[in-house]
Structure 1
Amino acid sequence: MTVSGSGQPMVTSGYGRSLLEVLRDSGRDPASICPPAWVAELESPESARVPLREWLRILESVSVALGEPELGLRVGASYVKLRHMGVLGQAVMSCATLEEGLQLALRYQRLHGDVAEPRVEVRGEQTHMSWVWPHAEPAPPLMVQLMQAARVTYVRWLTNRPDWRFDAWFDFEAPASTAAYSALFGGELRFGQAESRLVAPAAYLRAPIISADGEMRLRAEAAAQSLLKELAGETEFLRQLKTALTQRLAVRRVALEDAAAAMRLSPRALQRRLDGEGRSFRTILEEVRQARATHYLRDPVLSLAQVAFLLGYTEQSTFQSAFKQWTGESPGAFRKHLAAQGESAHRPTNG
């Protein structure tokens, strides 16, 4: 058995090790519940990533063995740590504010594995933190519990604000008892929602991160960029898919069915190929849009509305929101930085 292949969705091995810690803290031998080979390989220092589906099966097995249907809450709150995120965790911990840290985490999420695609959106006086499960099968409730609990715990720890409360929405029905949920999140609970998310005051985003370190952030982000490039090696299939999407952006024909037709595949065949690559169609479409956005924004003749149209968006505001999630800054700010760089490059030097 291997836990480091790249042909299927993966997660960092820290997720796997967290389950080993849970079992040992509960007085259970991990090898009595998990496959011994899985345990041995996870404990190897060379282990870096594990197959997502395999990890989800083990998570379910541990939950049943411990008789703990809300195990995801405990794992997310107490066992999944920022240190499990490697250089990405270091970079986030070194940011100046919570907003800066969350935006950086969005940019380098792929280093964290293929667990979910996070989103952060400000709506008036509220911040909505959601995440998209990019796989065909719905996210199991245990996984939803874990993701929600981990994010709340990260935010409180980074800002040293254990008193902060969060409204928590879940895409599954309410359990018989919600006491554990109330104790962890502290705010309003909503079950049976269209998607899972956390809602908190927008002011939280301005809070300083207590471990901020500008120099460390630069070093950690440089390492994160290097790792991301290593993961960016693309197959011919992915290059063809991105070309097909690029050609169809402006005419807004970028659904999976449109891409499949362009590549002379059935939608089901295209989805199977994506599953084999361990990628989601949504993520690839966003990567194409981001690449084209940075290209178009370098052309001062194009207005932001025109750029949005060329990227297949019906509303400029949707494009602006997406761009900020990709890069951490607005399209307008990106253009100002480009202009400043251009002025600097042409400014005469002294001496």
Structure 2
Amino acid sequence: MQTSWIRGAIAFMLIGTEADAARAAAAPAMPLQIFVDHLEQERAASADGLRSWRSGEAMELATVGILGEAVAPRRTLGEALRVFSRGFPVLQSNSRVSFEVIDDEAHVSYRVLDPRIWPRRADTELTLGLIRGICARYGVPNGAIQDLCFEHRPDRDLRVLSHHLGRTPRFGQDENRIVFSARVLGNTLCAEPGGDAMTSSKRLDGALIELRRQTPVAQRVHELILSRMDRGMVNQSHVAAELGMSERSLRRALAAEGQPFHEILEECRRIHGFALLVRSDRLFGEIALLLGYSDQTAFSRAFSRWYGISPREIRKMGAEEVSVIR
């Protein structure tokens, strides 16, 4: 699996110098692992329980590069969130932002798909804070927030964030998510929009097309598998359909890159399963089903073959960073 990355001035502003930020547009992408690790270290060293969240809320859209430029001039909040979720891949790889309206609720979710990047508490708080900041540009009050979920477990006094938001977050959930009343999606910008919506939209579309062109098919398959692995069985026909390809075309493309589908699926199971074993308390049978195994025995055999020890022994390692993950 390729190294996950983040682009734009945002990375350099938060962990680099002002000079670095000024050169960010021309700089290569930063490894996401470095970015997340630095945020986590700063979060752990700070006594401010809102540090990461406030950084996200206060973030200028210009620091998010082409994506921010495309979001900034959107007339309504609904338009802004749709652009943000659609264009997020140009900002950060192996990650996903989804936006959907369910009945009278708007759901915005964020996930880092790369299981090797852990922990990611500060990064999650930063990103959901950024989404909350976008909502604030359209006059959305805290009272409109109906739910706030985090994948990670609580590790500090929750009263500060609860008081700030007027709602107590839920932790240890399946995804990071902010939910608010769908009524506010029609809210318009509180200030005059900056930039031209049509021009910035074309630039974002061009960046997405170029990213797709440059990204190997095998990498796109990796991301799709990891994004769906916790949500049911993943197979080659589903992945081909998502990519807009026939199964035959997908097999040919992967063969040309020297990475058959079954090898990619196995690698995703290996790295995601390891993360679930040492960083969660899920039952072995549940993990087996999430990874797409027919039963726990098949899951145990595979992990014993990969690591030379049983899943139970792997779990005993706890949350240590172990060199078997590459």
Same fold (TM over 0.5): yes
Measured on the aligned residues, the alpha-carbon RMSD in Å equals: 4.0
Larger RCO, structures 1/2 (Cα 8 Å, 6+ apart): 1
Residue 120 of structure 1 aligns with which residue? 99
| 1:19, distance to aligned residue in structure 2 (A) | 2.1
Gaps of at least 5 residues in structure 1 are: 1-5, 21-29, 31-37, 254-258, 276-351
Residue type of the partner of 1:12?
Answer: R
Structure 2 residue corresponding to 1:263, chosen from 240, 260, 264: 260
| 1:44, distance to aligned residue in structure 2 (A) | 3.2
- The residue correspondences of 1:128-167 to structure 2 (distance < 5 A) are 128-137=107-116, 140-156=120-136, 158-162=137-141, 164-166=143-145, 167=147
Distance 1:212 1:111, change over 3 A: farther
Is 1:169 equivalent to 2:169 in the alignment?
A: no
Distance 1:260 1:212, change over 3 A: same
Is 1:63 equivalent to 2:49 in the alignment?
A: no
Mapped partners of 1:163, 1:221: distance in 2: 29
Q: How many residues align?
A: 244
Structure 2 residue corresponding to 1:104, chosen from 83, 87, 90: 83
Residue 183 of structure 1 aligns with which residue? 163
Report Cα offsets for 1:150-187 as digits up to 9, x if no partner.
Answer: 2111211x203455542311222234411221233223
Residue 6 of structure 2 aligns with which residue? 11
Structure 2 residue corresponding to 1:90, chosen from 44, 53, 69: 69
How high is the TM-score relative to the length of structure 1? 0.58
Mapped partners of 1:77, 1:112: distance in 2: 17
Gaps of at least 5 residues in structure 2 are: 225-235, 248-252, 273-326
Distance 1:124 1:228, change over 3 A: closer
Give the SS at the match of 1:203: helix
Mapped partners of 1:99, 1:49: distance in 2: 29
Give the SS at the match of 1:190: coil
Mapped partners of 1:264, 1:189: distance in 2: 39
Greater shift, 51-60 or 9-18, is seen at: 9-18
Report Cα offsets for 1:218-271 as digits up to 9, x if no partner.
Answer: 0111111222233222466539969x6579649xx9xxxxx9999275346654
- The residue correspondences of 1:199-278 to structure 2 (distance < 5 A) are 199-211=179-191, 216-234=196-214, 238=218, 245=237, 249=241, 263=260, 265-267=262-264, 270-271=267-268
| 1:88, distance to aligned residue in structure 2 (A) | 2.1
Give the SS at the match of 2:213: coil
Distance 1:122 1:139, change over 3 A: farther
| 1:110, distance to aligned residue in structure 2 (A) | 1.3
Report Cα offsets for 1:30-87 as digits up to 9, x if no partner.
Answer: 7xxxxxxx88655535335311001112212323444556532232223x32111223
Distance 1:48 1:165, change over 3 A: farther
Give the SS at the match of 1:120: strand
Residue 291 of structure 1 aligns with which residue? none
Distance 1:216 1:117, change over 3 A: same
Mapped partners of 1:146, 1:200: distance in 2: 18
| 1:132, distance to aligned residue in structure 2 (A) | 2.7
Distance 1:267 1:225, change over 3 A: closer
How high is the TM-score relative to the length of structure 2? 0.61
Distance 1:202 1:233, change over 3 A: same
Mapped partners of 1:235, 1:113: distance in 2: 13
Mapped partners of 2:177, 2:191: distance in 1: 26
Residue type of the partner of 2:218?
Answer: L
- The residue correspondences of 1:15-26 to structure 2 (distance < 5 A) are 15-20=10-15
Residue type of the partner of 1:231?
Answer: L
Residue 75 of structure 1 aligns with which residue? 55
Bigger Rg, which one: 1
